[in-house]
Amino acid sequence: MILEEISKAIGELEEDLLFQLINEYLSVDPSAQKAQEIIAYCQKGTKEVGEKYHMGEYFVGDLIYSGELLTEVIDLLKPLIIREPDIYIGKILLGTVQGDLHDIGKNIFKSMCEAAGFEVLDIGIDQQVSTFVQKVREFKPDIVGMSGVLTIAIEAMKGTVDGLNKAGLRDGIKIIVGGNSLSEEAADYIGADAFSLNANDGVQICIDWIECPKYK
């Protein structure tokens, strides 16, 4: 019930109500699980913002505002979902691909990977193929995560995988892509090993790849 209200509050850009509801929901049980439920429902709410924008009911300013609200929510919830690991279970290089400036989903995935015990190098938004290639060389990740929500991100992701191939770096790594514009067909076309529209599932895939004894 409260979760639905949270979703509606972010969808209607009601900042005060949103944070009042979040605090109310967390007051009983401020756990990582509750924080993740809140994120999932906020995501649902921002989808409505996107739809209203698409239908001409909302403007770009509203998109920006909803993005800011979601970022504020993540910042508030971060302490609940992140803990310092004793030892890293693997390395993930993460970035939003060229042409795409959206990073809210990437940041959620990053926080969840860190919470699971991965060392994450976040190279930021709008990253060229050459930057991915250079950073993979330097950081030597086990996994490369690419994020993007624009339709054009699919081509940029494919270009990045091709670039890693050309540089001879593809074989030693797993590649996972995420963001709302993706599908299984798109992931095949890109040449990724996996895709996910949900940060939680994405982290689980990465854990399975690493085969960490801690999770057996």
Give the shortest CB-184-to-ligand B12 separation in angstroms. 14
Strand partners, 92: 120, 143
- Of residues 54 and 86, the one with the C-beta less far from ligand B12: 54
Give the shortest CB-62-to-ligand B12 separation in angstroms. 8
Query: Residue 173 gets which letter from DSSP?
Result: -
End-to-end alpha-carbon separation of the chain, Å? Answer: 35
**Dihedral angle sign, alpha carbons of residues 100, 158, 203, 181:** positive
Give the shortest CB-35-to-ligand B12 separation in angstroms. 13
Give the shortest CB-68-to-ligand B12 separation in angstroms. 8
Give the shortest CB-202-to-ligand B12 separation in angstroms. 3
Tokens for 205, please give them: 């895939």
- Of residues 47 and 91, the one with the C-beta less far from ligand B12: 47
Query: How many Å apart are CA 90 and CA 72, to the nearest integer?
Result: 28
Binding site for ligand B12 (CB under 6 A): 43, 46-47, 49-50, 53-54, 60, 63-64, 66-67, 70, 99-106, 108-109, 145-147, 149-151, 176-181, 196-199, 202
DSSP string, 79-100: HHH----SS--EEEEEEEBTT-
Give the shortest CB-66-to-ligand B12 separation in angstroms. 5
Residues near 166 by Cβ (< 8 Å), separated by ≥ 6?
none
Taking phi over 0 as left and psi of -120 to 50 as alpha, with beta for the rest, 58 belongs to beta
- Of residues 34 and 102, the one with the C-beta less far from ligand B12: 102
- Of residues 77 and 146, the one with the C-beta less far from ligand B12: 146
- Of residues 28 and 160, the one with the C-beta less far from ligand B12: 160
Tokens for 192, please give them: 């990724």
Please, are residues 121 and 90 in contact by the beta-carbon 8 Å criterion?
no
- Of residues 28 and 72, the one with the C-beta less far from ligand B12: 72
